[in-house]
Chains A and B, each alone.
Chain A
Amino acid sequence: MSRDDAIRLAYLAAAVLFILGLKYLSAPRTARRGNVFAAVGMLLAIVATLVDARVVSFGLIAAGIGVGTVIGAFSAQRVKMTAIPQMVALFNGVGGGAAALVAASEYHVLAGDGVTSLDGKIAVSVMFSAVVGSVSFAGSLVAFGKLQELLPGRPITWPAQKLVNAAAVVAILTLAVVSATSVDQALFFPMLGLALLIGVAAVLPIGGADMPVVISLLNSFTGLAAAATGFVLGNDALIIAGTLVGASGTLLTQMMSRAMNRSLANVLFGAFGGGPAAGASAKAGTNGDRPVRDVSATDVAVLLGYARRVVFVPGYGLAVAQAQHGVRELAELLEKRGVDVKYAIHPVAGRMPGHMNVLLAEADVPYDQLWEMEQINPEFVQTDAVVVIGANDVVNPAARDDPSSPLYGMPILEVDRAEHVVVLKRSMATGFAGIDNDLFYDPKTMMLFGDAKGSVIKLVQAVGAL
């Protein structure tokens, strides 16, 4: 067996490990094993590539892998779980950047070799990975900036936006065709520059709340860009792994937009949804004068301590206040008193679908206490008390009842069907979407104002004292 055959067999084994990895990642019990499988596949693919006859110099490779490992491992260990979405955005961005750089390097080498015109396959795949990789790189950095609140979370728009973007896209396509048919680096690099600008311009008008969908889409873009470099270099491992991510990432993106009852087109071009800044500054609007029931921690403790069934609805407010540990403690206290406790997780609770599950898991909440929206909604009628912590839009009954509401049609947790609702909230400010919530004015709703963490600690003490 030749060395090339051995390498290709190793790539095949890596591809099998990636597929098994993805499959295992899709079920809670096997997910961690799936990640390990995929990592082993990656190691195998890298080792196989290092023995490739085309690879003749190793010094810079070793240095590059060393630097990348230190940065990657350090940031992965240090990142807070609430900051996971932006970390994923960054890792995705550098992947896209790598794909674009591989294409750029290959183009530069071909130009240096005196190639005047690229053949069809190379032309399409070099241009695709260069442009899509650059878009993914720049777009991911903007997404990171928005989630990290370095950039304003609200949609940023400017005049003739779509026209300008369309013109840039046409320019990119033209430069791609021209620089492929007659190789000229003075056209190729400006094209990369434009692709970076388009990446920025495409993500700036999208609100912070929609960033997870954007990251997921850019994730699948990076996969496809990596697959395209596989066509350039004639490498099956790149084609398979890149395409797997491209396809599964597209499906995941659709699942996420569906969870918010938005079409992908609406997310990308709708300029809907404020950021944290817009939400906090918006005033209560027409409901400003309506009375709410302001209660004390002791009142709530009595209600919860003597309830039979309690459901917690955690939102991002809980995560930013780092109140998840306190909530778990409160839940355990209630369980000791014989209360049946569940957590209702809206598909977009947190900053990404599934993000809330990660945050609660971090606080040692057993995952079989976490209930998804479809399972828990029929149970609210038999629930004595629902405790909404730092969530707003996902429990807004207007999404179900008011066709004029911008939220109308978004699936919600139907907490207003429970006997009592307790809302832990900092103030009467509106949620991420900047829309007022009738739930807060419902006679059966009690408002416990204050920082989520402080309120939860008070509740723990008050329930403990019962």
Chain B
Amino acid sequence: MEDVALVTQLTVFALAVFVGFEVISKVPTMLHTPLMSGTNAIHGIVIVGAIVVLGADRGGTLAAVFGFIAVVFGTINVVGGFLVTDRMLQMFRRRPAEKR
């Protein structure tokens, strides 16, 4: 194999699969919805790809249009995703101490 980058990327990919499975393996049902929403925000990482594509300024108008919409979409995904998750989670609070 000559493509060192590919092998490294596949390594990173394989390890991330295992971490992704392990890290949420013991989540209570009550957190399924916030967790789905949180992971949903994390795949907004695609904004990074959109920035690279749009910022490279190659490929003329069509590429710029695609890149621009991708940046808008990615930002909605990130900003909306994290904010709505936080709104859900700030509601989870314990019973006030005096009532325990």
Interface residues of A (CB under 8 A from B): 18-19, 21-23, 25-28, 31-32, 34-36, 38-39, 42, 45-46, 49-50, 52, 54-58, 60-61, 63-65, 67-69, 71-73, 75-77, 79, 81, 84-85, 87-88, 90-92, 94-95, 97-99, 101-102, 104-106, 108-109, 112-113, 121, 215-216, 219, 222-223, 225-227, 229-252, 255-256, 259, 345, 347, 350, 352-355, 357-358, 361-362, 364, 366-370, 372
A462 to B57, CA, bound (A): 69
Complex Cα distance A112/B64, Å?
A: 13
Q: Which of B27, B66, B67, B87 is A26 in contact with, Cβ under 8 Å?
A: B27
- How far is B99's CA from A162's CA once the two chains are assembled, in angstroms? 57
Give min CB distance, A38 to chain B, whole Å.
6
A-B contact pairs, 13 of them (CB 8 A): A22-B23, A32-B89, A42-B44, A55-B55, A61-B54, A72-B76, A92-B43, A102-B49, A121-B3, A243-B12, A355-B33, A358-B92, A366-B99
**Are A72 and B45 in touch, CB under 8 angstroms?**
no
- Whether A69 pairs with B75 at a CB distance below 8 angstroms is yes
Cα(A77)–Cα(B82), bound, Å: 11
Distance of A388 from chain B, by nearest CB (Å): 19
Mask, B51-74, CB within 8 Å of A = 1, is: 111111111101110111111111
Residues of B9-65 at the interface with A, using a CB-CB cut-off of 8 Å, are: 9, 12-13, 16-21, 23-60, 62-64
The one of B30, B46, B52, B64 that contacts A95, using a Cβ cutoff of 8 Å: B46
Q: Would B86 and A98 count as touching, CB distance under 8 A?
A: no
In the bound complex, residues from chain A placing their C-beta under 8 Å from that of B33 are 84-85, 88, 350, 352-355, 357-358
Q: Which of A81, A229, A240, A255 contacts B49 (CB 8 A)?
A: A229
Residues of B in contact with A (beta carbons under 8 Å apart): 3, 5-6, 9, 12-13, 16-21, 23-60, 62-64, 66-96, 99
Q: Is the interface of A mostly helix, strand, loop or mixed?
A: helix
Partner of A57, one of B55, B77, B88: B55
A215 and B57 contacting across the interface, CB-CB below 8 Å: no
Tell me whether B89 and A35 are in contact (CB under 8 A): yes
Q: Which residue of B lies closest to A79 (CB)?
A: B84
**A361 to B73, Cβ gap below 8 A?**
no
Whether the pair A60, B54 counts as a contact (CB closer than 8 A) is yes
Known contacts: A87-B80, A219-B43, A361-B91. The answer to whether A112 contacts B53 by CB under 8 A is no
The chain A residue sitting closest to B88, CB to CB, is A358
- B32 and A255: CB pair below 8 A? yes
Q: Which of A35, A90, A106, A366 contacts B94 (CB 8 A)?
A: A366
CA distance A114 to B92 in the complex (A): 55
Residues of B within 8 A of A109 (CB): 53, 56, 58-59, 63
Given contacts A229-B49, A236-B12, A241-B43, contact A357 B87 (CB under 8 A): no
Known contacts A69-B79, A105-B59: A219-B66 contact under CB 8 Å: no
Contact A87 B84 (CB under 8 A): yes
With A26-B35, A72-B77, A251-B21 known to touch, is A244 a contact of B42 (CB < 8 Å)?
Answer: yes
User: How far, in Å, is B10 (CB) from chain A's closest CB?
Assistant: 9
Asked whether B74 lies within 8 Å of A95 as measured between CB atoms, the reply is yes
Contacting pair B21 A248 (CB below 8 A): yes
Contact A361 B92 (CB under 8 A): yes
Closest 10 CB pairs of A and B: A68-B75, A247-B20, A55-B55, A64-B71, A72-B79, A366-B95, A72-B80, A109-B59, A76-B83, A243-B16
Q: Is the CB of B78 within 8 A of A242?
A: no
Query: Nearest residue in B to A255 (C-beta to C-beta)?
Result: B32
Residue of B nearest to A63 (CB): B68
Whether B54 pairs with A235 at a CB distance below 8 angstroms is no
